[in-house]
């Protein structure tokens, strides 16, 4: 094996992909072309801007395209594709002509699919990781060149875990490219699928256990409602306390009863307002605490 010398074509869109692209450039790899999603509205207002990957590519003078037409006309075995959260399927015709590596944020075959980080936290996994695999026509099924485990702690949110996995993934990818590709190992074990998170999954059902709700707060932009208005639960802790109150009842101390155990709310975001301390939010309401709405569907 020897260092990978083929020019790289990078396909990706969000911040984690941009970080890995930046690290590849810093490591001295030749990036011939970048493919990313079209410019879109980001934040408030009607202004459109390029994806994080496009911003990095343009800063380094790398040619960018927003579709796979360039790949269709330039696909050949002397290129190597690197795919990180591109967001679209790569046609088999391109995969046939250009080998591609995918950086996937799970220990395959567990959590194939769109939301591996969130699903790992929701399931209570105590370990996840990164795999560098050959990209195939079927979803996340390719043989694996390298993998590395990353422990999941109760302090991890989806955002902080993804940040850690991105840094690890960058290191593993660069190490792999520096030593050169060899035969990849087929995936073994039971496959599970990380389906895209639906908006309904983010709503808290206070009949669930404190453990399950705590995972949901860490994994998703979870919310409850009160008087029909959304309240996002940004931070919470499992409480070493008992309560005889009904699930969804929240005291002035931000202690909430659940179907099994209690949570202490730390930070919340009322609808249309900025994030704030949970006790401060409660202080602005009627004394005696509040009762959160329960889902009806």
pLDDT at 254 over 80: yes
Q: How confident is the model at residue 39 (pLDDT cuts 50, 70, 90)?
A: confident
* % helix, strand, coil for the chain, step of 5: 25, 30, 45
The answer to whether residues 210 and 245 touch, using CB atoms and an 8 Å cutoff, is no
- What are the backbone dihedrals phi and psi of residue 207, each rounded to the nearest 5 degrees, phi first? -75, -15
Instruction: Supply the pLDDT for residue 43.
Output: 63
The answer to whether residues 91 and 73 touch, using CB atoms and an 8 Å cutoff, is no
Average pLDDT over the chain reads 94
User: What is the number of H-type helices and E-type strands within the chain?
Assistant: 8, 18
Q: Examine the domain organization and report whether 35 and 129 are in the same domain.
A: yes
- What are the backbone dihedrals phi and psi of residue 280, each rounded to the nearest 5 degrees, phi first? -65, -40
pLDDT at 44 over 80: no
pLDDT at 48 over 90: no
Domain count, the chain: 2
Q: Examine the domain organization and report whether 137 and 187 are in the same domain.
A: yes
Q: Examine the domain organization and report whether 176 and 212 are in the same domain.
A: no
Q: pLDDT tens for residues 71-98?
A: 988 878 899 999 999 988 899 999 999 9
Mean pLDDT in residue range 130-136: 97
Nearest to 84 by CA among 182, 168, 152: 168
Give domain status of residue 216, yes or no: yes
Q: Examine the domain organization and report whether 30 and 148 are in the same domain.
A: yes
Question: Which CATH number is 92's domain given?
Answer: 3.40.50.170
Mean pLDDT in residue range 282-293: 88
Q: pLDDT tens for residues 139-180?
A: 999 999 999 999 999 999 999 999 999 999 999 999 999 999
The domain of 229 spans: 199-291
Q: How confident is the model at residue 46 (pLDDT cuts 50, 70, 90)?
A: low
Q: Examine the domain organization and report whether 50 and 29 are in the same domain.
A: yes
pTM (2 decimals)?
A: 0.94
Mean pLDDT in residue range 220-248: 93
Mean pLDDT in residue range 209-222: 97
């Amino acid at each position: 094996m020897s260092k990978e010398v083929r020019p790289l074509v990078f396909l990706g869109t969000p911040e984690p992909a941009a970080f890995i692209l930046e690290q590849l450039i810093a490591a001295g790899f030749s990036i011939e072309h970048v493919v990313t999603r079209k410019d879109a509205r980001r934040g408030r207002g009607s202004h459109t801007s390029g994806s994080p990957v496009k911003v990095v590519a343009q800063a380094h003078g790398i040619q960018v395209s927003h579709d796979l037409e360039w790949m269709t006309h330039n696909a050949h075995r002397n290129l190597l594709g690197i795919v990180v959260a591109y967001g679209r399927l790569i046609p088999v015709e391109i995969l046939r002509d250009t080998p591609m590596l995918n950086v996937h944020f799970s220990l395959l075959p567990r959590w194939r699919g769109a939301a591996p980080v969130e699903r790992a936290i929701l399931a209570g996994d105590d370990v996840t990781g990164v795999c560098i695999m050959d990209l195939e026509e079927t979803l996340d099924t390719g043989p694996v060149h390298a993998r590395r485990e990353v422990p999941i702690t109760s302090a991890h949110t989806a955002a902080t875990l993804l940040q850690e996995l991105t840094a690890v993934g960058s290191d593993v990818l660069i190490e792999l490219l520096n030593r050169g590709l060899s035969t990849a190992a087929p995936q073994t074990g039971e496959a599970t699928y990380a389906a895209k998170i639906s908006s309904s999954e983010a709503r808290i059902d206070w009949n669930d256990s404190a453990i399950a709700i705590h995972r949901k707060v860490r994994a998703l932009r979870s919310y409850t409602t009160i008087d029909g208005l959304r309240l996002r639960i940004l931070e919470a802790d499992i409480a070493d306390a008992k309560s005889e109150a009904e699930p969804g009842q929240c005291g002035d101390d931000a202690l909430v009863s659940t179907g099994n155990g209690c949570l202490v709310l730390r930070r919340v975001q009322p609808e249309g307002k900025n994030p704030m301390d949970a006790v401060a939010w409660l202080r602005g309401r009627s004394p005696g605490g509040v009762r959160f709405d329960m889902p009806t569907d």
